[in-house]
Structure 1
Amino acid sequence: MKCNTITIIFLLFLFSSNVSQLQAQEKKQKILSEIIAHRLQNKKKASAYINLVNSLGWELRYTNFDSVAILSEEGYKLSKEINYKRGQAKALLASSFSEIIAFKNTEETLKKIDQAIQFSTDIKADSTLISAYNIKAIYKTYIDDYEGAYKDYNLALLLCQKSNNTLEETKLYSNLATLFSVLGDNDESIRYYIKALDIANNLKEKFWLGVVKSNLGYLYNKTNQFEKAAILLDESIQIFIDEDRKVWLAYAYLTKANLLLNKKSPEEAIIFLDLSDDLLKNLIYEKLKQDLLLGYTKYYQQLNNSEKSEELAEEGFLLSTTNKNQIAIANFSEILYQLNKEKENQGSALFYLEKFKNITDSVALQSKQNALALLKAKTDFQKEQNDLKLDSQRTIKQQKTYIVFSLFIVFLVILIAYYGYKNNKTITHLNSQLEEKTEILENSEKTLKYANETQEKLFSIISHDLKSPINALKNLLLLIKNGDIKPNEFLNFAPKLYNDVDAMSFTLNNLLSWSKSQMNGFVNNPINFNVSEKINNSIKLLQENANQKNISIRNNIPKDAEVNCDSNQFNLIIRNLLNNGIKFTPCGGSIIVDAHLKKEYLEIRIKDTGVGITPDIQNNLFKPDSALQSTYGTNKEKGTGLGLLLCKEMVENNGGEIFVMSKINEGSTFYFTIPKAI
């Protein structure tokens, strides 16, 4: 079970009740009394009794995992005996949600949620179905399936909007905001929270207004907008005090403490840390307790109490390691690195620094993959909704067409009687022309929309790839500036920085060429030139990259082979294909370039001994959206996937063709043809 995200923003608020702590205790006691009364009357198989059992289990979800499991099992079993599907669904949801809170969620938990969705769908129970999709989205967020979580949240949101349920709509917008916050997209998260806040301001339930304000305050604190954060957090704390909501009050206190720690005010922060600690003692939400421990660690560190700070950091490191919480491990590792560095414990400092860097590097890579997955999810979901909308519009249009056509037939009969066969033929011809033009316009609109969406996605990916090496260099220089590493230690990072800058240069070159082709098209200046010499020049440019992986490159092109094409475009084709060969060939491999004459063309082949390409990817390799499927090389080399699109455009622009043959673990061979010299 993964849980690699900072969950101090509650994903669970959607399922909190709307009653105070005292009212909640009274409600539990009342439900328990009614359950006992039903048992005494031997009415255990009635739906009313099952609803009571499920309700009690739901009320206990934050405080007593074992009781929830027993009650949910009873509720499910009795519901099944009388075929009460709503009861089965609610029992499964209480059980699965409790498992998520207690970090006991497994694949069995997901099966329970899917069963609940099926039961709710069968009986058209929209309110239960909304809860089921939300719990499923929370589960998927906890296992880092952000693409699935986004889809499930939106499915629930559609149900809310359909039923005009503004309260549930507020919760769902907040949940979507939380999802983007987990992925590090704070701007998108704040946008969703502001949308939720606009709706929450008109709700009678002030508790939900406090929920949105506390989470929005957390994000403003995270983005160093301290004044906005302080206002929202103080307002949410007052709401939670008025509503007697201890779980959320503990969360708001902890967020306020983190705000004060960020402002270097530990004396004020300890007040809120202690308040949060007192509230959390009787709760089972272990992740929030772990975040509280991190807050205490930072507090003692700011007081320069290294001994206490190290003690808490080591406790947190062990706890987060046990829970496999990678972000928490990184946070505690960073603190332990700083403390050991101050004590000149070089061995321990290096150990925790490596832990911190390994996790942060891994998280950075995962962040890109998650962002791409979420981008795909947003695109796919929007496409599904657009398809549904188009189907609906098509049906309405078809109905209107039937009506118009029927009227036209009546009118046509009259015209036939009056004008005869000639006029009827003319009208039919005009209608045919109109339909053809309409179809042409619709196809043009679809093509333009697809091209715009593809370019937007492509530039989003490229911008991330260009920012990553720049940020890496910036952070390293900041470490030198702050004295965290010595200038001579900078040389240890020089090879990686060179590779990052080299990759960025290659990406920029491809991007500029592609942009030029999109705006003006490629302008050809074909000339005759020697192929072998051009390829030798490209090999020299990429030799350093090949040497780093001990890859040999052989040029077997005949010395007298000449072609007629644009030399600059030819160079870009060769360099992209060679660069891909180096990228996907393991250390110690080889790349061979040779050519064969074919009538009026020279067929050039670039063969590597790399990892190969799967048939599915081969089928889509040169399609317009193939750049969105770029992968990492054998040494984690980055790329945008733009190179192959450029190769295809330039080969075809010079009158040739390009294709590929590949087998997994045996390597790939790229073929392209260029006209022979005139």
Structure 2
Amino acid sequence: MLPVSPLKKSALIPFFLILLSPPVTAQQPVNDSLLAVLRSHIKNDTARVNLLNQVARAYFTIDAPSAARYGREALRLSDSLHYSKGKIWAWRNLALVENTKGHLDQQMQLTLNALKLAETLGDSYTLGVLNNDVGNIFTELNAPRDALVYLKKSLDIKLQRNEKTEIAKTLNNIGSAYISMKVPDSAMMFLEKAEKLKLALHDRRSLAYTYENMGIVAMLQHRYNDALRYHQLSANYYREAGNLPGVVKSSLNLAEIQTMQGDLKSADKNLQQAKLLNDTLGNVKNEMIYYKIRYELDSARNDYAAAFESYKEFSKRNIDFFNAEKGRLISRSQEKYESEKKQRENILLKKEQHMHLATIQQQRVLVLSAAALFLALLLITVMVYRLYKRQQELYLELNNKNREVSMQNRIILEQNATLENLNQVKDKIFSVISHDLRSPLAILEGLLFLLKDEKIDAAQFRMYTDELWRDVKNTAYMMDNMLQWASNQMKGIGVKPDDFDVTLLLNREFDLLQTLARQKEVKLRHELNNSIMVYADPDMIRLVLRNLINNAIKFTPSGGEVLITATHDNEQAEITVKDNGTGIPVENQHRIFSNIYYSTTGTQNEKGCGLGLHLSKDFVERNQGQIWFNSMPGTGSSFSFTVPLSEEPEINPHAYTVVVQDHPLGGVSVLRR
């Protein structure tokens, strides 16, 4: 996060003076009177619970930590008193606090807890409010179609009760859902209905939300003057109510529309105000929106260096928000799967119960028949025999069904295990693509955008080419590792051993690795001067060498050295890659070759996907070798592995001479003879 300059800090005093205008301070005695009543009521009963919930509701837009404290106390007291209504509103208040922080998943869980309990009580007012809340959360999660189901259910309940204030709120929220669906005409229709009701009720506090949404619709329809007017009305009403999250949103909206209209000074002022307040609220989504608008403002000022930095900050937060959303979608898919699984189990149980009931019914018929036809002993005996045979058949059929169910359960468990393994592969691939591969591409995209529009000249672009080239090569290596790992996990990789010269193989890879080392001003050399014939899969050994050398370069600072040496006896060759870099912390050394995919950034923030060393260990062991390492933090690391020697020596062995020369433009070059 960027530090706040003294100039920005100075904006805090007039901004809060605006918040302390007469309408806001007029609300303060109401909150103080509530607190006074709460302090005078010391008895732990349901009345105190209701007071705690009222205070929490009054404070959540002004002082979220205090609101959370009162809500938690109300929840604990309601739980001890078994007061269900108190628990419902305590959960709801805690959910609203989580919304101010941008924690939509926690808000959804708390609201669903309250809704489930409210359904058991059958309180229509509470059900209308909570269904409205769930719809709002789905809208913020970009699931407007799910939101409309709950919002329309809430509207039906409120219309039956003729609660005009609550009806206006839900009409506003339905408009928000249609905005998310990009249907501005339908959104404006519901928002205008909400505005009419709220104006009639003089509900200025709630009008802030409606004018905010009407401003967004006007922006979608390119009516920028109308959008500015609506957002200014929204900002005024939010400030009147002392609604800090609302003030942040309205400041961001004003900054965006003012940037579009060219009023850059006002836009910058509103952006500073939004950031100062959001730093206290800690809302991640608002922070992401701030950097997006800051990027647009810097571009409009032709300050492309600052725009590039803002774009990087926005891109990083956008990736984190995407990962969080992906995690929530996976969680919801798992919950849906568990729900469907329980439904299937319930169906099987019901079938078994029907079979048992049928058997019991037949036994009852037997008893009644025996009592009614006691004198007809022969007839009863025949009937009992037939019923007995039928019962045996039913038991046999039931046993057969049980065996079939058990067999199906085993099949389902095996399929679940297979699906879980495939999901792990998928999740790892998605994680690498969505985070490690998107970051360099996002930065490259931003630079190319500036270069294409001639907002940055070629000289400035060349300042970033070395860093971009290194990031792209690291990304290519990560992609190679990921594809090899995914292929190994999903279908297995067959070993194709052959006789080859490991020295020749290293020389073919050395030029590219030498370029990477030169970018970091790291000296890279090897002492494999003679032919070493080994028997292994050359593609696997090439990947092992590349990963070990690339890792050594990654964790060696400028001015350091990476050395590759080899020794051999009568059976196997031992190859060592040694560096004098940062070394591996002792507490993390046990994770290097484990199944836990461990990755850290290099000395120049190079990234990895955590698969290289794990894959190298697998490939070495598949080729009848061993791999190990020695590392001392702050001193460096050495990684060694063995590979079997070829049983048939090369007919025409040859030697290699490695000559290291200083390059005229910096770094070193390597000549081989």
Deviation (angstroms), 1:562: 4.4
Contact 1:134 1:153 in 2 (8 A): no
Deviation (angstroms), 1:565: 1.4
Which amino acid in the other structure matches residue 174 of structure 1?
Answer: G
Contact 2:524 2:563 in 1 (8 A): yes
Determine the structure 1 residue equivalent to 2:211.
253
Cα separation, partners in 2 of 1:121 and 1:175, compared to 1, 3 Å: farther
Q: Distance in 1 between matches of 2:405 and 2:565?
A: 52
Q: Distance in 1 between matches of 2:43 and 2:569?
A: 76
- Which secondary structure does the structure 1 equivalent of 2:240 belong to? coil
Between stretches 389-398 and 121-130, larger displacement belongs to 389-398
- Which secondary structure does the structure 2 equivalent of 1:282 belong to? helix
Contact 1:160 1:168 in 2 (8 A): no
Contact 1:522 1:653 in 2 (8 A): no
Contact 2:24 2:240 in 1 (8 A): no
Cα separation, partners in 2 of 1:116 and 1:367, compared to 1, 3 Å: farther
Determine the structure 1 residue equivalent to 2:417.
447
Q: How many equivalent pairs are there?
A: 559
Which of 628, 638, 643 is equivalent to 2:612? 643
Contact 1:151 1:381 in 2 (8 A): no
Deviation (angstroms), 1:153: 2.4
Encode CA deviations 1:639-673: one digit per residue, 9 max, x unaligned. Answer: 33343453344334334455666676665555544
Q: How does 1:294-313 map to 2 (within 5 A)?
A: 294-297=252-255, 299=257, 302-303=260-261, 309-313=263-267
Q: Which has the larger radius of gyration?
A: 2
Determine the structure 2 residue equivalent to 1:460.
430
Q: How does 1:2-81 map to 2 (within 5 A)?
A: 64=27, 67-68=30-31, 71-72=34-35, 74-75=37-38, 78=41, 81=42
Q: How does 1:227-246 map to 2 (within 5 A)?
A: 228-243=183-198, 244=201, 245-246=203-204
Between stretches 237-246 and 556-565, larger displacement belongs to 556-565
Which amino acid in the other structure matches residue 478 of structure 2?
Answer: T
Determine the structure 1 residue equivalent to 2:177.
216
Between stretches 548-557 and 451-460, larger displacement belongs to 548-557
Encode CA deviations 1:444-472: one digit per residue, 9 max, x unaligned. Answer: 23421321321332232233244444444
Q: Distance in 2 between matches of 1:492 and 1:162?
A: 61
Which of 225, 234, 237 is equivalent to 1:276? 234
Which amino acid in the other structure matches residue 612 of structure 1?
Answer: I
- Which secondary structure does the structure 2 equivalent of 1:674 belong to? strand
Contact 1:137 1:150 in 2 (8 A): no
Q: Distance in 2 between matches of 1:69 and 1:599?
A: 88
Q: Does 2:641 align with 1:675?
A: no
Q: Does 2:463 align with 1:492?
A: yes
Q: Which has the higher contact order (CA 8 A, sep 6+)?
A: 1
Q: Does 2:324 align with 1:361?
A: no
Cα separation, partners in 2 of 1:156 and 1:488, compared to 1, 3 Å: same
Determine the structure 2 residue equivalent to 1:578.
549
Contact 1:76 1:92 in 2 (8 A): no
Contact 2:172 2:210 in 1 (8 A): no
Cα separation, partners in 2 of 1:64 and 1:128, compared to 1, 3 Å: same
Deviation (angstroms), 1:217: 3.9
Cα separation, partners in 2 of 1:528 and 1:610, compared to 1, 3 Å: farther
Q: How does 1:138-537 map to 2 (within 5 A)?
A: 138-140=96-98, 142-143=100-101, 146=103, 150-151=105-106, 153-158=108-113, 160-161=115-116, 164=119, 167=128, 170-177=131-138, 180=141, 186=142, 189-190=143-144, 192-197=146-151, 199-200=153-154, 202-204=156-158, 206-207=167-168, 209-220=170-181, 225=182, 228-243=183-198, 244=201, 245-277=203-235, 279-280=237-238, 282-297=240-255, 299=257, 302-303=260-261, 309-323=263-277, 325=279, 326-327=287-288, 330=291, 333-334=294-295, 336-338=297-299, 340-341=301-302, 349=303, 353-354=305-306, 356-373=307-324, 375-376=326-327, 441=411, 444-465=414-435, 466-537=437-508
Determine the structure 2 residue equivalent to 1:55.
none
Cα separation, partners in 2 of 1:171 and 1:664, compared to 1, 3 Å: farther
Q: Distance in 2 between matches of 1:77 and 1:598?
A: 88
Length-normalised TM-score, structure 1: 0.66
Cα separation, partners in 2 of 1:283 and 1:615, compared to 1, 3 Å: same
- Which secondary structure does the structure 2 equivalent of 1:639 belong to? coil
Deviation (angstroms), 1:575: 1.9
Identity percentage of aligned residues: 19
Encode CA deviations 1:264-291: one digit per residue, 9 max, x unaligned. Answer: 4334334434543554452212443354
Cα RMSD of the aligned pairs, angstroms, is 4.9
Determine the structure 1 residue equivalent to 2:515.
544
- Which secondary structure does the structure 2 equivalent of 1:647 belong to? helix
Q: Distance in 2 between matches of 1:241 and 1:484?
A: 47
Which amino acid in the other structure matches residue 610 of structure 1?
Answer: T
Contact 1:213 1:233 in 2 (8 A): no
Contact 2:271 2:290 in 1 (8 A): yes
Deviation (angstroms), 1:618: 4.2
Cα separation, partners in 2 of 1:64 and 1:610, compared to 1, 3 Å: farther
Cα separation, partners in 2 of 1:474 and 1:201, compared to 1, 3 Å: farther
Deviation (angstroms), 1:590: 4.5
Cα separation, partners in 2 of 1:70 and 1:571, compared to 1, 3 Å: farther
Which of 79, 83, 104 is equivalent to 2:44? 83
Cα separation, partners in 2 of 1:296 and 1:610, compared to 1, 3 Å: same
Q: Does 2:606 align with 1:653?
A: no
Encode CA deviations 1:22-53: one digit per residue, 9 max, x unaligned. Answer: xxxxxxxxxxxxxxxxxxxxxxxxxxxxxxxx
Cα separation, partners in 2 of 1:360 and 1:380, compared to 1, 3 Å: same
Cα separation, partners in 2 of 1:618 and 1:339, compared to 1, 3 Å: same
Cα separation, partners in 2 of 1:177 and 1:454, compared to 1, 3 Å: same
Cα separation, partners in 2 of 1:460 and 1:520, compared to 1, 3 Å: closer
Which amino acid in the other structure matches residue 477 of structure 2?
Answer: F
Cα separation, partners in 2 of 1:339 and 1:578, compared to 1, 3 Å: same
Deviation (angstroms), 1:541: 2.1
Q: Distance in 2 between matches of 1:548 and 1:73?
A: 68
